Amino acid sequence: MNPYLKHDEWCIIEEGFVPENTRASESIFSIGNGAMGQRANFEEKFTGSTLQGSYIGGVYYPDKTRVGWWKNGYPEYFAKVINSTNWIGINVIVNGDELDLAKCKVDEFRRVLNMKEGYLERSFIAEMENGIKLAVKSTRFLSMVDTELGAIRYSVKPLNADATIELRPYLDADVRNEDSNYGEKFWEVVDTSCTPKISYIVSRTKKLDFHVGHAMRNFIALNGNIEHIQPEVNSSAMYVENIFKVEAKAGDEVTLYKYAAVISSLNHEKGSFPKVLDKLIDVAVSKGFDKMLQEQSDAWADIWKHSDITIEGDVAAQQGIRFNIFQLSQTYTGKDERLNIGPKGFTGEKYGGSTYWDTEAYCLPFYMVTHGQKVARQLLLYRYKQLDKAIENAQKLGFTGGAALYPMVTMNGEECHNEWEITFEEIHRNGAIAFAIYNYVRYTDDKSYLVHFGLEVLIAIARFWAQRVNFSQEKGKYVMLGVTGPNEYENNVNNNWYTSTIACWCMEYAEETINYVKSADPAKYKELAEAIKFDEAKEVEKWRDIRNNMFFPFDEKLGIFLQQEGYMDKEQILVKDLDPEERPLNQKWSWDRILRSCFIKQADVLQGLYFLEDRYDTETIKRNFDFYEARTVHESSLSPCVHSVLASRIGNVDKAYELYLRTARLDLDDYNREVKEGLHITSMAGTWISIVEGFGGMRVRNGMLTFNPLIPDKWKSYSFKVWFRENILKIVVSSTQITIFNESESSLTIKVYGVEHKVPGSSSINVPVQKQLF
Ligand code: BGC
């Protein structure tokens, strides 16, 4: 743990310059706007350790697969959202010497991520080798309103002497990814222009020929007044620069305003780039920095209105949850259905910015409840549009007849993952994609989604499961062999309870949805059935037969679902008995030892109990929770949240809180000493789930919102927002009382602890805190 950040309710604050923390801070202080993201790299030159990162959603490179031992069925490439042109750069030269924080004395360094208003600020005093003391302050943001624009205000003030200040804002397309498989560069420059008014670089990615365009226009102000100075220009093949030279008196403040536009061929004709960039820069300049910043702040106020969580009595927890909400909200906005949420968002290179099952299993609830139905629907449509590729993917592995296997990792629907035990075996991801459809419809009641999109996906997934099982003559049951469950510390196991359970559930839900669509829109159903050659009688009959005769491993003595057949053959040791020196296991033990041990990386059986909770009584959940929690090392950041929700579900608030704490400040306190690689964006949604579904006990049952709140001892009160269909609710829970505000006009009936309450529009109700009742 490296808790170097200050606690504050709305801001992330770093004080003091510690070069070793630079990469970590670059991740933590990242900014984004759903369309692009930017690590918190310094504007001025920095020769210390840094990971330059500027990413554009949907612009990726298919980096040729690198494996030791090729296996048929492996994908040819791993898709990577790639580091693109550096648009933030501003070189600062004072009396001929370049400012570089790695080479001068730095005082009063302060970096603030203002989450309430959505901008990043940094200030410091640098004592340069030439003796000049310089006060520097920068503010920058990526506009949530004009999502192709970013802006920087960068001020320098010589404190102890008059000085010649050169500010050299630039665009640099000569960038690379640290994780490039073959050290290859992914970009080629197509066109540059460098004029005192506007400068731009258009570059293209190799192989896929994505074009991106970056433009800048710069202004100088002296002591707050814009100076109409013509910059000199300078350029080379992949670089354009403006040069402003100002003679400043000691105490004068020289400010550079840098407006940047960033576009890609996802949204614009390749030939139109110079014109589009020109227009965008005009928009920025005509609004000006202050107005753009005001709009940014308004846009964030709107986001917080639907999504804020408050925690009274625990500033660290308050900051943690807001940080998670902030990062999630700036990673994905739902404005573009081609985009999705990478496990690290736009904050680093790891995981390539690609889509994992994390989206459906963890992120969907957050976006659905706080950003509304439309945003959640976009996430589902992303997979709908990739159905053909999922069918192709299944065909490559030998499945037929329209069976779909969604990829474990993808950018465009094609599989990019290349470890056989995950690529071919971690097939439970198909279940999460089906479950997300169910979860969405349950919450929004948008059944039209099933008619137009959902059913087709559900049938294709059910078809996959029906072929993936086989009938064991020995057992007289269907079995599912050679799988990897969510717990990646077991590979190639037979009858993983979670995978078999979610598979059967998928076949059941597909049947239920067929019946719904058949009656709601018979013509549409007929059209679909014909298009996909669906033999309903035969196929559904097969699904039923599988569901009725599936083998599920169960331990009679303990009364628990077994993670997989043979799990109890393992030496049963508990996490509490592990030497802390041996943790994390994935760094300290051989892979062989991990595979043979009983230790569990992340929720597996418990993932199933979480999804399908209504099917199990509290005692069953409790028995399984106690057994598996004791054996789970939570070495995936996605794990503690599921355990936390279940701990709340069984009324164990202390355990729920302990597990909650493991994710809430995971990145801020850098528990795993890896935040430098990027933030754990998808697991941040899990933290939100721990509060809303865990402590708040929120569920939707029979179309009604229900709450069963409890409160951790450490908190005086907490509140969360829920956007449910037409209503926005604010739920406040203290140690004695629950208050539900209905912030909308229309009334809503909800249940608290099993009792119905009507909450009239624009008013609230109070209910005393009780023991939970599910
Ligand atoms: C987890 C997977 C997850 C992936 C990306 C892995 O460590 O085991 O469940 O999808 O990280 O977050």
Distance (Å, rounded) from C-alpha 333 to C-alpha 454? 22
Question: How much is the pLDDT for 672?
Answer: 81
Ligand 1 touching residue 682 (CB < 6 A):
yes
From residue 740, give the alpha-carbon distance in Å to each of 299, 689, 706, 730, 731. 25, 19, 12, 6, 5
- Beta-sheet pairing, 763-768 with 737-742: antiparallel
488 in contact with ligand 1, CB cutoff 6 A: yes
CA of 692 to the centre of ligand 1 (A): 22
pTM over 0.75: yes
Q: Which atom of ligand 1 is nearest to the CA of 486?
A: 9
Contact status, residue 553 vs residue 565, Cβ threshold 8 Å = yes
Looking up tokens 């003030």 gives 157
Question: How far apart are the CA of 231 and the centre of ligand 1, in A?
Answer: 49
Write down the pLDDT at residue 189. Answer: 97
Q: Residue 213: beta bridge partners?
A: 202, 263
Return the ligand 1 atom nearest residue 356 CA. Answer: 10
Q: Which of 718, 679, 635, 29 is nearest to 317 (CA)?
A: 718
CA of 491 to the centre of ligand 1 (A): 14
- Closest protein CA for atom 5 of ligand 1: 343
Output DSSP code: residue 415: B
Atom number in ligand 1 closest to CA 488: 8
Closest atom of ligand 1 relative to the 343 alpha carbon: 12
Question: 580 φ, ψ to 5°?
Answer: -55, -25
- Condensed to tens digits (0 to 9), the pLDDT of residues 664-683 reads 999 999 988 899 999 999 99
Nearest protein CA to atom 12 of ligand 1, as residue: 343
Per the annotation, does 601 bind a ligand?
yes
Cα 398 → chain centroid: 32
* Strands 704-707, 748-752: pairing kind: parallel
**Cβ-contact 264, 210 below 8 angstroms:** yes
Backbone phi, psi, residue 189, to 5°: -85, 140
Residue type, 1: M
Q: What is the DSSP letter of 454?
A: I
Q: Is the CB of 254 inside a 6 Å radius of any atom of ligand 1?
A: no
Contact between 172 and 85 (Cβ < 8 Å):
yes
- With a 6 A CB cut-off, is 358 part of the ligand 1 pocket? yes
**3-state DSSP assignment of residue 639:** helix
367-396 pLDDT, tens per residue? 999 999 999 999 999 999 999 999 999 999
Three-state DSSP at 739 gives: strand
The secondary structure element, H or E, covering residue 395 is: helix 387-396
Instruction: Write the single-letter amino acid at 478.
Output: Y
| Whether residue 357 has its Cβ less than 6 Å from ligand 1 | yes
Distance 88 CA to ligand 1 centre (A): 32
Q: How far is the CA of 461 from the centre of ligand 1 (A)?
A: 21
d(CA 134, CA 98): 12
CATH, domain range 11-307: 2.70.98.40
Ligand 1, atom nearest to 351 Cα: 5
Span from the CA of 651 to the centroid of ligand 1 (angstroms): 28
Structural domain boundaries of the chain? 11-307
What is the 636 CA–ligand 1 centroid distance (Å)? Answer: 6
Query: Residue for token digits 């030497």?
Result: 579
Cα 484 to Cα 489: distance, rounded to the nearest angstrom: 9
- Residue whose CB lies within 8 A of the most ligand 1 atoms, among 354, 355, 358, 427, for a mutation test: 358
Whether 382 and 334 have beta carbons less than 8 Å apart is answered as: no
Query: Is residue 438 classed as helix, strand or coil in its secondary structure?
Result: helix
pLDDT at 3: 82
Other beta carbons less than 10 A from residue 161's beta carbon: 14
Phi then psi for 588, rounded to 5 degrees? -105, -25
C-beta of 602 in contact with ligand 1 (< 6 A): yes
pLDDT tens track for 200-221: 999 999 999 999 999 999 999 9
Distance (angstroms) between ligand 1 centre and the Cα of 747 equals 41
Ligand 1 in reach of 138 Cβ (< 6 A): no
Burial grade of 479 (CB within 10 A; 0-12, 13-18, 19 or more): middle
291 is in an annotated binding site: no
For ligand 1, the distance from its centroid to the CA atom of residue 357, given in whole angstroms, is: 8
Ligand 1 centroid to residue 408 C-alpha, Å: 10
User: Which pLDDT does position 770 carry in this prediction?
Assistant: 87
Q: From the CA of 408, give the closest atom in ligand 1.
A: 10
Closest Cα to atom 3 of ligand 1: 358
To test ligand 1's pocket by mutation, which of 359, 427, 488 has the most ligand atoms within 8 angstroms of CB?
488
Selection from 33, 37, 26 nearest residue 59 by Cα? 37
Residue 426 alpha carbon to ligand 1 centre in Å: 11
Rg (CA), the chain: 27
Ligand 1 neighbour 386 (Cβ under 6 A): no
* pLDDT score of 774: 56
Pocket test for ligand 1, best of 341, 636, 637, 683 (most atoms within 8 A of CB): 636
500 lines ligand 1 (CB under 6 A): no
Residue 683 alpha carbon, nearest atom of ligand 1: 12
* Options 44, 148, 241, 488, the catalytic residue: 488
Distances (CA, A) of 427 to 36, 356, 483: 30, 12, 7
Ligand 1 contact via 361 beta carbon (within 6 Å): no
Q: In this structure, are strands 727-734 and 119-127 parallel, antiparallel, or unpaired?
A: unpaired
Which residues of the chain are under the pLDDT cut of 70?
1-2, 771-774
- Residue 178 has phi, psi (to 5 degrees) of -65, -30
Tokens 């910043």 locate to: 293
> Is 555 annotated for ligand binding?
no
Dist CA 745 CA 742 (whole Å): 8
Q: Which atom of ligand 1 is closest in space to residue 357's alpha carbon?
A: 10
Nearest C-alpha neighbor of 342 from the set 607, 32, 42: 32
Any catalytic annotation for residue 295?
A: no
d(CA 12, CA 231): 35
Cβ–Cβ under 8 Å, residues 119 and 31: yes
Q: Is position 358 annotated in a ligand binding site?
A: yes
Looking at ligand 1, which residue's alpha carbon is closest to its atom 9? 486
**Nearest CA, atom 11, ligand 1:** 636
Read off the tokens for 107. 């005082």
Pocket flag, ligand 1, residue 627 (CB < 6 Å): no
Give, for ligand 1, the residue of 356, 585, 610, 667 to mutate: max count of ligand atoms closer than 8 Å to Cβ: 356
Tell the residue nearest (CA) to atom 1 of ligand 1: 636
